[in-house]
Chain A
Amino acid sequence: MFLIPNAVVRFFHRMASPPHFYAFTDKVMPWLIIIFVLLTGFGLYGGLYLAPADYQQGDSYRIIYIHVPSAWMSLFIYMVMAISGAIGLVWRIKLAEIVAISSAPIGASFTFIALFTGSLWGKPMWGTWWVWDARLTSELILLFLYLGVIGLYGAIDDKRVASKAVAILALVGVVNIPIIHYSVEWWNTLHQGPTVTKIDKPSIHVSMLFPLLLMALSFKFYYLIALIQRIRIELLQRERNAQWVKAKVLELR
């Protein structure tokens, strides 16, 4: 606490209160959207137009500009979900609970996109839609973990209780993620196929790498935008009897 400047602490305290969060995101949202659109525009232009075609794979490698950032996001969002779930469990911060549960559908979508684009790429490159390979299997398990979180939240009627249950489940899943990852990798080396080595050493040129990093950043901003929108809706639903929501509704009329 002593190391963090006072202003920062105050900022986080205010963010934890729903009306402040709502008003603050109102102001920030347009800027986030502008940054996201710019990043995506430059990233896609760089990736799909400026970057040269791969000498082996031709143009079909360009799917990595969607595939790789979504795979990164799928892991990143799971960690965000677990950490904010833990914060919600320990300090009982309502907003942290909402961040955790609002992240789950976004993370699940990114995981699905990573799997889907991967299999689209795999068909022409590997000659098959699906291989029971380390990466693919662990990503599929990750999708199931996300779906479990969403399903559990939906199954419990009392949403305060549901948020706690989800946080516990997400934390248990975190312990499992490295286990899944390494075990499956290890398992796969025993029936190694020739296809895996190809993705293991992606010696990538700067002209291809730079758009990829732009896209990764733009996906982060997309996540932030989607997350904030989900949080706002969840806040309005949970606090529908609060005074500030009433004021907001009257304002809109």
Chain B
Amino acid sequence: MALFYAFIAIIRRDLLLAVRRRSEIANPLLFFILVITLFPLGIGAQPHLLQAIAPGIIWVSALLAAMLSLDSLFRSDFDDGSLEQILLSPYPASVLVLAKIIAHWLVTGLPLLIVAPLLAVLLGMPTQSIGVLLLTLLLGTPVLSLIGAIGVSLTVGLRRGGMILSLLVLPLYVPVLIFAGNAVEMAGSGLPVDAQINILISILCLSVVLAPWPTAAALKMSVN
């Protein structure tokens, strides 16, 4: 029970911190919207073309936004020493790390879900695939946070960790991108997407169970 309270306390603390520093919520979201508006400007605004590549654009932008937001996951806690406190606490570090990741997803991942339908309409996506897009984002963005946490915990102690983080994290994001993008595309042409959704669910389950573990190990290594 005490572990549960600690879990909740960390989520509450991180959410409170995020509310006090609102730029943390706004930045990834603005980045997401900006990248998506760049595509029609760069490719040209033919509706057919945009409609065809809309799932890919939205997912790649979500991926990049998730990656850019990762730095805020442990950075301030690492700088002010609260990360050490969390790791020194009597509770298993992996559970507390999971709480931090959940809070981080609520702050940076969930807002993407809220604006995604709007952007999908702007890109002219067919209405039947918008629901699937939201479902894939709901299942996929937590995975991005969980896997990204491993990468960021390996590099949090480094002064120039930004570039290396993208090299570590993006290859690991590939399966999510493939299945999610494919599901949205299939939905657009009216085909069933159960298989892709099931695989996304299983990836999510696996990463919830497995990812906090190396993250905690890597944090312990980065801290001392």
Residues of A within 8 A of B (CB): 89, 141, 144-145, 147-148, 151-152, 155-156, 161, 164-165, 168-169, 171-173, 175-176, 179-180, 183-184, 187, 190
A171-B214 contact, Cβ under 8 Å, with A144-B167, A144-B170, A148-B168:
yes
Give residues 140-195 of B contacting A (CB, 8 Å). Answer: 147, 150, 154-155, 157-158, 160-161, 164, 167-168, 170-172, 174-175, 178-179, 182, 186
Residue of A nearest to B159 (CB): A155
Question: Which of A152, A161, A164, A184 neighbours the largest number of chain B CB atoms within 10 Å of its CB?
Answer: A152
Residue of A nearest to B203 (CB): A179
Q: What is the total number of residues of chain B having a CB less than 8 Å from a CB of chain A? A: 29
Q: Is the CB of B160 within 8 A of A176?
A: no
Q: Is the CB of A148 within 8 A of B171?
A: yes
B134 vs chain A, min Cβ distance (A): 21
How far is it, in angstroms, between the C-alpha of A151 and the C-alpha of B164 when the chains are bound?
7
Determine which of A165, A180, A190 lies in contact with B218 in the assembled complex, contact meaning CB atoms within 8 Å: A165
How far is it, in angstroms, between the C-alpha of A172 and the C-alpha of B152 when the chains are bound?
13
A173-B172 contact, Cβ under 8 Å, with A147-B167, A165-B221, A168-B214:
yes
B63 vs chain A, min Cβ distance (A): 14
How far is it, in angstroms, between the C-alpha of A220 and the C-alpha of B197 when the chains are bound?
41
- The answer to the question of B210 belonging to the interface, with a C-beta cut-off of 8 Å to chain A, is yes
A184-B178 contact, Cβ under 8 Å, with A155-B155, A155-B164, A168-B218:
yes
- B179 partner residues in chain A, CB cutoff 8 A: 183, 187
A-B contact pairs, 20 of them (CB 8 A): A141-B174, A148-B171, A151-B168, A152-B155, A152-B167, A155-B158, A155-B164, A156-B158, A165-B154, A165-B221, A168-B154, A168-B221, A169-B154, A173-B171, A175-B206, A176-B174, A176-B175, A179-B175, A187-B182, A190-B186
